[in-house]
Amino acid sequence: MKDTAIKHDVFQAIADPTRRKMLILLADKEMPIASITEQFPITRTAVNKHLHVLADAGLVQSKKVGRETRYTLQPEPLKELQKWVSFFEKYWADRLSALKEYVESED
């Protein structure tokens, strides 16, 4: 039987500001879900749903330690995002150069 679980990609996962904040929280340390929940004005159930989206995208990993679930950042999938964004940097550089020329020509 085919696995019908919905998997999220990195772009979907980071589209939500709450999930982006969760990634920042987890950047330096492993955290239990209770500690993550304390950082947000949402329910533990909502935090858990966000963490599942991040886990489906491969951005966080969970492990059971006693009775609690702890989460850690898995930054490898962010390389896909970096690669995609870096493609467009050349256009930003061109725009900034054009803006600089325009501003300097006004003087």
pLDDT tens for the chain, 107 residues long, are 344 444 778 999 999 999 999 999 999 999 999 999 999 999 999 999 999 999 999 999 999 999 999 999 999 999 888 888 888 887 777 777 777 887 888 65
Which amino acid, 2?
K
60 CB burial (10 A radius; 0-12, 13-18, 19+): buried
Q: Which pLDDT score, from 0 to 100, does residue 70 have?
A: 97
Q: Which pLDDT score, from 0 to 100, does residue 91 have?
A: 78
Q: Which pLDDT score, from 0 to 100, does residue 46 have?
A: 98
**For 1-75, which CATH class?**
mainly alpha
| Domain positions in the chain | 1-75, 77-107
Q: Which pLDDT score, from 0 to 100, does residue 41 have?
A: 97
The answer to whether 55 and 12 are in contact (CB under 8 A) is: no
